[in-house]
Amino acid sequence: MKKTLMAFLLGSTLVLGACGNNDDTASEEASDANNPQEAADSALGNDIDPEKIVNQKCSSCHGGDLSGGMGPALKNIGSELSADEILSVIQNGKGAMPKNIIEGDEAEAVADWLANKK
């Protein structure tokens, strides 16, 4: 009896697992269809999301909406600084901002993203 019950439970688990719907994949595919650049980046392994990085590493000082706080406002920083100048600030720090708070490709992506804030 125990063997039959175990076989039934194992079989049920396998069947139910195989029938599951992976909504995450469907959501990602729909998102990629709406944003070709994101799809290309994802296909190349460039899953850098500069807005997410800014929210994680910069918003505590520059504000969640980039309107400033302990650090200066970045809402329109692109009208004041170029991407290279922003990257320099990220790499070298400025005032109380530590250097290299973001590094490498992420720093470049954030600098480009902020440079478009005009």
Number of structural domains the chain divides into: 1
In a domain, 27, yes or no: no
- Please name the residue that has the structure tokens 């990220």: 90
d(CA 86, CA 16): 52
How many degrees, rounded to 5, is the angle at CA 38 between CA 40 and CA 27? Answer: 110
The CATH number of residue 99's host domain is: 1.10.760.10
Structural domain span for residue 83: 50-116
58 is in an annotated binding site: yes
- To the nearest 10 degrees (0 to 180), the angle between helices 36-43 and 23-34 is 120
In a domain, 40, yes or no: no
In a domain, 8, yes or no: no
d(CA 110, CA 18): 41
19 is in an annotated binding site: no
Residues 6+ away with beta carbon under 8 Å from 30: none
Whole-prediction pTM value?
Answer: 0.62
Taking only the tens of pLDDT, the chain with its 118 residues reads: 767 766 666 666 655 555 544 444 444 444 445 555 555 455 455 689 999 999 999 999 999 999 999 999 999 999 999 999 999 999 999 999 999 999 999 999 999 999 999 9
